[in-house]
Amino acid sequence: MMVPCLALLTCSCKRTERESAILRRMNEESVPLKEAFNVRFLFSEQGILSAELLAPHALETKQNEQEVRVFDRGLTISFFSPDGEIKSELKAGHGTFKNGFNYAELLDDVVVVNNKSDTLMTDTLYWDKAKNLMHTKRGRNIIRTPREEITGDSISSTTNFSEYKIYNITGVVRVNQGGGI
């Protein structure tokens, strides 16, 4: 009677291939210390809500004596104005936060949309909370506005994506008012 229960316990939990790959990338020093599900983090500046992060899964670990939080099943961050209005929203398939949430690397189909319907699409985005900046590096970087679609080597912007710069523009496509290209 004890053997079937033991077999059931050892087979009941299984990591996805993606989760296993992420854990393989972590070195011995960075074995997860904590794990949480359906997490919500609030960020504030001088007592005023500036951002909200929601994620279905989070791991906390240490790398080089520094706390690291890994969101391996996707995440959404809403950025707020001082009035409490959502200024932009960021979605990514994976995120790694370091230095007390002051620096982040966001991966896998990263999309940022501001309240003017401008959209940034990239493979990798870096967020420096202390400097209030986001940027991409070389790769697939697209800005889509209601009027055009612009591709470039890299992009930098404010955290709320209200102002941005596109470097080495490689293409511009005008969009018709009806939404077609």
CATH of the domain at 75: 2.60.450.10
For 96-133, write each residue's pLDDT tens digit.
998 777 889 999 999 999 998 999 999 999 999 888 88
Domain that holds residue 99: 17-174
- Minimal CA–CA distance to 51: which of 79, 89, 86? 79
Phi, psi at residue 145, to the nearest 5°? -110, 175
Calculate mean pLDDT across residues 72-91.
Answer: 93
Distance CA 86, CA 47 (A): 17
For 27-38, write each residue's pLDDT tens digit.
544 566 788 999
**Does 12 fall in a domain?**
no
Return the percentage of the chain with pLDDT > 90, whole number: 34
**Does 58 fall in a domain?**
yes
Q: What is the pTM of this model?
A: 0.76
**Cα dihedral sign, 122-175-161-117:** negative
Would you place residue 170 in the very low, low, confident or very high pLDDT band (cuts 50, 70, 90)?
A: confident
Q: Which of 13-22, 43-52, 159-168 has the lowest mean pLDDT?
A: 13-22
**Under a CB-based contact definition with an 8 Å cutoff, are residues 122 and 93 in contact?**
no
For 138-150, write each residue's pLDDT tens digit.
777 888 888 888 8
**Does 93 fall in a domain?**
yes
Q: How many CB atoms lie within 10 A of CB 155?
A: 24
Q: Residue 83 is encoded by which pair of tokens?
A: 């009035």
The CA R_g of the chain, rounded to the nearest whole Å, is 19
**Does 39 fall in a domain?**
yes
Q: For residue 73, is pLDDT > 80?
A: yes
Q: What region, left, alpha or beta, does residue 111 occupy, with left being phi > 0 and alpha being psi -120 to 50 degrees?
A: beta
Would you place residue 6 in the very low, low, confident or very high pLDDT band (cuts 50, 70, 90)?
A: very low
**Under a CB-based contact definition with an 8 Å cutoff, are residues 87 and 81 in contact?**
yes
Q: How many CB atoms lie within 10 A of CB 91?
A: 16
**Does 154 fall in a domain?**
yes
Structural domain count, the chain: 1
Would you place residue 4 in the very low, low, confident or very high pLDDT band (cuts 50, 70, 90)?
A: very low
**Does 84 fall in a domain?**
yes
**Does 180 fall in a domain?**
no
For 166, residues 6+ apart whose C-beta sits below 8 A from its C-beta are 141, 143, 150, 152, 154, 155
**Does 5 fall in a domain?**
no
